[in-house]
A and B are shown apart, each in its own frame.
Chain A
Amino acid sequence: MSSTTSQTQRVVLFTEHDPLVLESGETIALVEVAYATYGVLADDRSNVVYVCHALTGDANVSGEDGWWSTLIGPGRPIDTDRFFVICSNLLGGCNGTTGPSSIDPKTGKPYGLSFPLFTVRDLVTVHRALLAQLGIERPAAAIGGSVGGMQVLQWMLDFPGELGAAAVVCASARLTAQNIAFSAVARAAIMEDVNFHGGDYYEHGVRPDRGLSLARRIAHITYLSEQSMRQKFGRRLQHGDAPHRGFEVDFAVESYLEHQGESFLHRFDANSYLYLTRVMDYFDPFGDLAGAVERLRGSGTHTLVISFDTDWRFDTAHSREIVHALQAARLPVTFREIASPHGHDSFLLEVPEYHRTVAAFFGRLTSAPRAV
């Protein structure tokens, strides 16, 4: 089987006559989704792997410049010579899928903050609509890291047994107060930017760049570990051997964060950032644990849960909570805490034991009878 990589394509999944009905009951009349596929769909459609991306990802998951090309591609742990991989940009995003920066057909202007609030469940609704459009009923597996893992978990809860297998990497079923606090400060940076204009910055011809860049810098600190920052930068100075002793960038870590903030502006919309972080804050699928366990019971989806020992954004306790609920529902669960110095970012990096684990789990998928 030869591997083929698709360019990102766009498809309209919901229209005025058949709108997207959100969990809240609100509707979105026109929803277009950007997605990409990799590999060849088997005749019996049994080799589909759906990738749910994290906060700032896009459909471009594999191939050159793919954000997860270390994990997904020909000969990679999720081998596109065997699997047909689909990845779509999230609802509310800004990389080809309808979101707050899209034009509201009712007004002819960008939605801004009039875009309805949505939930992780709504993200899954759109994924499944894309699959239906492609004629696929039951993916062999779904995988996601961070908020991607939240989508996989919600998928399992809302459609028990639909996923043949699931991989939930450094995710959370419930943000802590500390997690929400970081999100809140990041959002405040955007909303308090003088160029925010209540979310309608598009028509003012400006963008809340300072706020968005600051939000990204704050978040980026939580993606790294103390250990990795120490290794990468330590107290190294950006220019020369002597400190400049002023308030400009002086330490290497300051320059790095500034660069992270700046480069983010080219690829992300501030309103999408607000909506997608808020989606995470409200996610609480085990709020009614007994109900969730009851829904999951007997669904049989073998689930791989992975955490990283230096991840302090969603530490191992978050993954353990997910494992505990799945075990209570008698699902086959495989769990590893992987040693990695890279903090939350580990899920995007080539951590050998992590990749071996994913390779072993996915290698088993198309050959095995399902162990229930």
Chain B
Amino acid sequence: MRSDLALTAGLVPHGSRVLDLGCGDGALLAHLIEQRGCSGQGVEISDEGVLACITAGVPVEQGDIDDGLDEFDPDSFDVVVLSQTLQTTHRPASVLDGMLRVAPASIVSIPNFAHWRLRAGLALGGRMPSSRTLPATWYGTPNIHLCTIADFEELATARGARLIERILLDEGGEPTRSRVVAARPNVLAAGAIYRLGRA
């Protein structure tokens, strides 16, 4: 499992009912169902991802989270997960609103576009930056709404989220406890995982 997924899994309480948005092949949900006694389902847009979920026995529905989460009743889940997906949506603010509605707790992971290596790539290289976290070319990237740690925290707060916990990630996607990084996260962290509640 991807290391950010393992970290995300660790934030989900045992026995939770989980909605995983953009669940890909269902690896996180399969882990949560088998190892943490969770239930729930994924939402995935791609045919390959949906088929992989079904093959793995993970409940999934094919859909575009940009179409809204209206089909899900308020508080119909305990935890909603959005892992490395927010930046690919057309309406990130609406997606956040939907998440805050369907579950009292949300877990969101994002790449930080203000990481120094990306800043340097653009400022000094004059090219659209890429990194281990964001390896795609500018013309091939699925990421259309990249943001920084500062941007995300501002939006989440504005949409009525409470920031409960933040795990800063290094360029390998591993959590970092470095005090230096913690002092300047918007420059030094390659990404972050958030645990959000309602304000």
Chain A residues with CB under 8 Å of chain B are 302, 304, 320, 323-324, 327-328, 330, 332-337, 353, 356-357, 360-361, 363-364, 368-369, 371-372
Contacts and interface: CB of A to CB of B under 8 A. Distances in A.
B17 A330 contact: yes
A328 B62 CA distance: 18
Nearest to A372: B39
A356 B47 CA distance: 10
B73 A328 contact: yes
A320 B71 contact: yes
A360 B61 CA distance: 14
Interface in B19-51: 33-34, 39, 41, 47, 50-51
A328 B77 CA distance: 10
A360 B41 contact: no
A323 B57 contact: no
B42 to A, nearest CB: 9
Task: Please list the 6 inter-chain residue pairs (A to B) with the smallest Cβ-Cβ separation, ordered nearest first.
Answer: A335-B61, A332-B59, A360-B54, A368-B57, A360-B55, A336-B62
A302 B57 CA distance: 9
B5 to A, nearest CB: 18
A323 B73 CA distance: 12
B152 to A, nearest CB: 29
A15 B62 CA distance: 47
Interface of B: 17, 33-34, 39, 41, 47, 50-51, 53-62, 71-73, 76
Contacts of B57: 302, 364, 368, 371
B54 A361 contact: yes
A371 B39 contact: yes
Contact of A332 (B41, B55, B56, B71): B41
Given A320-B71, A364-B56, 7 more contacts: A323-B71, A333-B59, A333-B61, A334-B61, A335-B61, A357-B50, A371-B39
Given A332-B39, A371-B33, A323 B61 contact: yes
A327 B55 contact: no
B47 A327 contact: no
Contacts of B51: 356-357, 360
Instruction: Name the residue among A302, A324, A335, A356 with the largest chain B CB count within 10 angstroms.
Output: A335
Given A332-B39, A334-B54, A353-B47, A327 B60 contact: no
A302 B72 CA distance: 18
A319 B70 CA distance: 15
A357 B54 contact: yes
A337 B59 CA distance: 15
Given A336-B50, A357-B51, A371 B71 contact: no
A371 B59 contact: yes
A337 B62 contact: yes
A302 B40 CA distance: 11
Given A336-B50, A357-B51, A327 B58 contact: no
Contacts of B47: 353
A369 B62 CA distance: 23
